[in-house]
Amino acid sequence: SFSLPRILVRSKLSHTCSHKCPPDPFFACLDAKAIQLSMSSHILGHVANAVMLVSTGLFWLPLLLPRSFPYISSQSYAKEGFCVMDPPEAPLLNSHLLCFYFDTLAAAAFALLPSSMMRYSGVSKLRTNAVGIFGHGVGHLFLYLNSPLSSASSFLDQPLHMQVAILLFSISFFYMFFLSIPPLPKAHVAPLAILAGVPLNTLIPPQLSFSYVQTVLLCTSCFYESVQRDKPTHYTSYSVIVHLPVSFVGWLEGTRCDEWVRSVGGHLIYDAAIPISLVLFACWRVWVGKLEVEEEEGKKTEAGVSQVGEKAKGE
């Protein structure tokens, strides 16, 4: 059962981390000199989150201002807001339906995780994200049944009472989701819900509304995780393993849709990236947690042996 990464991590844990172990040893024990300092101050996690936020901002510029920032090369993505595979001979393989299938299965798997895994730091995020992932999939099912390009009418064309109702619904929607983000202070929930809900109906094109909602929720969570004072031990590994891949896959979908992304499922690659990244994060946390337990048991064994030796010498 020996493996090189395991030997490296255990070796570094015993030699470098016995002196000062960083709060989240994501790669820190593989290259102590290069990464240990960054990990101990959460710098690597901050960098990952900053890259994700900046990348997301740059991605949205050409979608909202295509003439000023014409660097989203996939015209179909800019038009529809998604990279959609829709084979006429197989309608059940539409990208939105594939996302619904995948998200439903992933949410069920996360909800049914054994309680024994919850003792590892951060693994509970899979279970708490199950409802959101399923809701995301249901949103894709709705988009398949009701295309925003064909059914949505202009917000400004609605009667006043409908405009008020739509705004209240959007603000309430964001309010409920923001309440579920632990690092978000309660005093910030209502103002942020207003700031996010009003543009959804007044500024964002209908075909981009679904992507806008997901982007706002992800970026809000990412930002407040970065600025909270008491960060969890899994802060850095979650930022690197989960946040970064999602932003990179978004760029692939937006810039390579017409070239090859549509042929391999379209938007499915983005939806799949989120649960897959969460699974990889959980595997890492379980692995590191078991190593930490082994190290602790080893220290106790060594302490017990030394105590026996001292007693033997005294006798």
Q: What is the pLDDT of residues 233-246, one digit of tens each?
A: 889 999 999 998 98
Q: If you write DSSP's letter for every residue of 190-240 in order, what string do you get?
A: HHHHHHHHHHHHHTS-GGGHHHHHHHHHHHHHHHHHHH-SS--TTHHHHII
Of 78-82, 99-103, 127-131, 175-179, the one with minimum mean pLDDT is 78-82
Residue 104 banded pLDDT, cuts 50, 70, 90:
very high
Of 2-11, 37-46, 295-304, the one with minimum mean pLDDT is 2-11
Residue 305 banded pLDDT, cuts 50, 70, 90:
low
User: Would you give the DSSP letter of residue 52?
Assistant: H
* Of 27, 32, 31, nearest in space to 48 by CA: 27
Of 9-23, 145-159, 243-257, 295-309, the one with minimum mean pLDDT is 9-23
Ramachandran bin of 153, using left for φ above 0, alpha for ψ from -120 to 50, beta for the remaining angles:
beta
Cα–Cα distance, 68 to 47 (Å, whole number): 28
- Angle, helix 268-314 to helix 4-15, in steps of 10 degrees: 50
Asked whether 242 and 278 are in contact (CB, 8 A), the reply is yes
Asked if residue 269 has pLDDT above 70, the reply is yes
Asked if residue 181 has pLDDT above 70, the reply is yes
- Segment 109-115 long-range contacts (CB within 8 Å, at least 24 positions apart): 110/275, 110/278
Of 22-36, 119-133, 210-224, the one with minimum mean pLDDT is 22-36
Ramachandran bin of 69, using left for φ above 0, alpha for ψ from -120 to 50, beta for the remaining angles:
beta
Of 7-21, 67-81, 177-191, 299-313, the one with minimum mean pLDDT is 7-21
Determine which helix (DSSP H) or strand (DSSP E) holds 5, and give its type and residue range.
Answer: helix 4-15
pLDDT digits over 13-58, tens only?
A: 444 444 444 455 544 444 434 444 444 458 889 999 999 999 988 8
* Of 165, 167, 242, nearest in space to 198 by CA: 167
18 vs 228, higher pLDDT: 228
Asked if residue 256 has pLDDT above 80, the reply is yes
Q: Give the pLDDT confidence score for residue 308 in this predicted structure.
A: 60
5 vs 314, higher pLDDT: 314
Asked whether 94 and 85 are in contact (CB, 8 A), the reply is yes
Q: Give the pLDDT confidence score for residue 39 in this predicted structure.
A: 45
> Could you tell me the two tokens for 157?
């064309």
217 vs 304, higher pLDDT: 217
What average pLDDT score do residues 131-153 get? 76
Q: Which of 15-19, 144-148, 172-176, 295-299 has the highest mean pLDDT?
A: 172-176
Asked if residue 225 has pLDDT above 70, the reply is yes
27 vs 277, higher pLDDT: 277
Q: Give the pLDDT confidence score for residue 139 in this predicted structure.
A: 87
Asked whether 249 and 270 are in contact (CB, 8 A), the reply is yes
Cα–Cα distance, 295 to 102 (Å, whole number): 38
* Of 97, 169, 108, 170, nearest in space to 133 by CA: 108
126 vs 181, higher pLDDT: 126
Of 214-228, 234-248, 260-274, 290-304, the one with minimum mean pLDDT is 290-304
C-alpha distances in angstroms, 102 versus 36, 42, 211, 271, 299?
Answer: 37, 33, 18, 8, 44
Asked whether 126 and 110 are in contact (CB, 8 A), the reply is yes
Rounded to the nearest integer, the mean pLDDT of the chain is 80
| Residue 4 CB-density burial (10 A; 0-12 exposed, 13-18 middle, 19+ buried) | exposed
